[in-house]
Amino acid sequence: MSTTQSERLRELLEPLVSSQGLDLEEIAVDSVGRKRVLRVVVDSDTGADLDRIADVSRALSAKLDETDAMGAGEYTLEVGTPGAERALTEHRHYVRAVDRLVKFQLAEGGELTARILNADDEGLDLEVPGVKGRKPTSRRLAFPDIVKARVQVEFSRKDSKDEKEEEA
């Protein structure tokens, strides 16, 4: 049975990342000129600050140095977290995106942008923003009805705590 380099790297590195309390989200090996870049994306339910990223980066680097998983050529190791507009592909991603605005591509066709209120094993409870002064509406979306989902960046969103203070 043949496995790709990324699969072999995942098998090697995932236990180490998990031991640091993080999830291994993505591994990619890219060629940049004559050098290769190993990009490792990690995350957790509580996020990953710079200290945690540095710790896992050192641990991964040491593990890679003691194996020949990257072969003989030079490479650069880059460890980071998912971007602000991350794609949601796993159940844990949806759970972590509760209270976030997400753009969905639907299996029935079309798109929907809504805030995730709750994620369970079957799907999502959403709040669809109202348009032109209308109130937001609730909607249930089952996971099989989702083709793609991506978190949206919100620059002017008021925190619900701020809204409650303004109302008082």
Choosing from 80, 102, 117, the residue where a domain stops is: 80
At 103, is the pLDDT very low, low, confident or very high (cuts 50, 70, 90)?
Answer: very high
Alpha helices of 26-102 — where are they, by DSSP H? 50-65, 91-96
Torsion of the alpha carbons at 79, 82, 83 and 85, rounded to the nearest 10 = 170
pLDDT at 164: 43
Per-residue pLDDT tens digits for 31-80: 878 888 999 999 888 878 889 999 999 999 999 999 888 887 788 999 99
Choosing from 59, 80, 101, the residue where a domain stops is: 80
Choosing from 46, 80, 114, the residue where a domain stops is: 80
Q: Are residues 162 and 96 in the same domain?
A: yes
CATH assignment at residue 76: 3.30.300.70
**Is residue 165's pLDDT more than 60?**
no
Q: Are residues 136 and 158 in the same domain?
A: yes
Do the beta carbons of residue 126 and residue 141 sit within 8 Å? yes
Q: Bigger pLDDT: 85 or 146? A: 146
CATH assignment at residue 123: 2.30.30.100
Classify residue 86: in a domain, yes or no: no
Residue reference for tokens 């509406």: 137
Q: Are residues 95 and 123 in the same domain?
A: yes
Range of the domain at 74: 5-80
Q: Is the pTM of this model over 0.85?
A: no
Classify residue 12: in a domain, yes or no: yes
pLDDT at 168: 45
Q: Are residues 71 and 123 in the same domain?
A: no
When divided into structural domains, the chain yields a total of 2
